[in-house]
């Protein structure tokens, strides 16, 4: 894994201890116009990991660009070198620049398992091409518990520096016929840990015991409530009720494990979500403000600027290619 700052040593150690199992399981060559729909989490797990009810899914954009859309309308755009992660394996549609009128299930485009070699899906209308490398993982870690909602339902990571070079090397390795059966699981594990490191390094508690807090009997239910409903008008009393603890106990646990008060954590988490939405969606500043619990755009903009140094619209403009 790429080198990270000393203050993220806890994060690196926690990620290295994650137990993940899985593999890259197919690659695809799509040409415009194209689209496909994934199976449900349970259906896919039944095929790839019997006995599990859901998987961690990831898609690497090896060339071109695509958009991923969840059932509830959440969408993310991704381009060459990006890694799309669905930590809870939600059913989704992926399409190109011009979505096809028909959206076939991905299972109709490939031979059924077991596969003797890495399957290759070829589908589309013959226009500009997008290549994807797709994989899955399973884990019992609380980080991937949908009840805690520690991660967004879908997020896109754009590795930079040494991490980007490592991801590109992984793409090339998979595209050149795919890794061996012995290497597939390790490659998938290392790749997902790399992108999680990049994503979590910006989380508001990454410099403290955030992953440990997900296992804490007091903090876990409070964090789950905040993560599931960041737009709710929470009070310390509300969160203490969720945690079945006194307000003083809850406050002390937040300060001991996360280095901040419950309300500071709530604000930081909201700004973390807002930053992700600004970078990866077309939502307006007003829509994002409402989603993260602000009645007034001005109040949201002030909070965002205090944390990131720029108003939301200006920060978003700086993220555009060529800016």
Q: How confident is the model at residue 202 (pLDDT cuts 50, 70, 90)?
A: low
Sheet holding 120-124, edge to edge: 120-124, 21-31, 129-138, 56-63, 83-86, 155-157
Same domain, 100 and 171: yes
In a 10 Å sphere around its CB, with 0-12 CB exposed, 13-18 middle and 19+ buried, how is residue 119 labelled?
middle
Q: pLDDT value at position 28?
A: 92
- 36 lies in the same domain as 185: yes
Model-level pTM?
0.69
Q: Per the domain annotation, does 153 fall within a domain?
A: yes
Q: What's 276's domain CATH number?
A: 1.10.10.60
Q: How many CA atoms lie within 13 A of 274 on its CB side?
A: 35
Instruction: Say how many C-beta atoms besides its own lie within 10 A of residue 7's C-beta.
Output: 11
146 and 38 part of one domain: yes
Is residue 11 within 8 Å of residue 4, measured between CB atoms? yes
Q: Which domain holds residue 262?
A: 210-319
Q: How large is the average pLDDT for residues 100-121?
A: 84
Tell me the C-alpha distance between 144 and 245, whole Å. 25
Question: What average pLDDT does the segment 217-241 reach?
Answer: 92
Q: Is residue 160 part of a domain?
A: yes
What is the count of structural domains for the chain?
2
The candidate with the shortest Cα–Cα distance to 316, out of 83, 287, 294, 296, is 287
- Whether the ω angle into residue 33 lies within 30 degrees of 0, i.e. cis, is yes
Q: Do both 146 and 62 map to the same domain?
A: yes
Whether the per-residue pLDDT at 94 is higher than 80: the answer is: yes
Same domain, 312 and 173: no
């Amino acid at each position: 894994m790429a080198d990270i700052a000393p203050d993220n040593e806890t994060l690196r150690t926690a990620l290295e201890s994650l137990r993940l199992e899985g593999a890259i399981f197919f690659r695809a060559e799509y040409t415009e116009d194209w689209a496909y729909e994934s199976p449900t989490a349970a259906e896919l797990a039944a095929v790839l990991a019997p006995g599990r009810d859901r998987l961690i899914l990831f898609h690497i954009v090896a060339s071109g660009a695509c958009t991923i859309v969840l059932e509830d309308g959440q969408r993310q755009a991704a381009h060459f070198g990006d890694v799309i992660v669905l930590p809870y394996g939600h059913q989704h549609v992926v399409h190109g620049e011009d979505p096809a009128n028909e959206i076939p299930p991905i299972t109709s485009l490939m031979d059924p398992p077991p596969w003797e070699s890495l399957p290759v899906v070829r589908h589309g209308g013959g226009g500009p091409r997008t290549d994807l490398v797709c994989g899955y993982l399973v884990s019992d870690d609380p980080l991937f518990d949908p009840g805690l909602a520690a991660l967004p339902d879908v997020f896109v990571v754009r590795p930079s520096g040494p991490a980007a070079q490592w991801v590109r090397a992984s793409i090339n390795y998979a595209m050149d016929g795919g890794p061996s059966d012995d290497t597939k699981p390790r490659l998938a594990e290392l790749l997902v840990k790399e992108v999680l490191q990049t994503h979590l390094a910006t989380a508001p508690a990454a410099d403290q015991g955030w992953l440990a807090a997900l296992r804490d009997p007091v903090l876990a239910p409070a964090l789950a409530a905040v993560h599931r409903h960041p737009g709710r008008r929470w009070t310390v009393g509300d969160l203490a009720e969720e945690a079945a603890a006194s307000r003083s106990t809850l406050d002390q646990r937040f300060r001991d494990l996360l280095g901040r008060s419950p309300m500071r954590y709530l604000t930081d988490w909201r700004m973390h979500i807002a930053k992700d939405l600004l970078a990866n969606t077309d939502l307006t500043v007003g829509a994002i403000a409402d989603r993260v619990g602000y009645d007034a755009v001005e109040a949201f903009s002030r909070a965002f600027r205090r944390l990131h140094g720029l108003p939301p619209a200006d920060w978003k403009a700086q993220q555009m290619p060529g800016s």
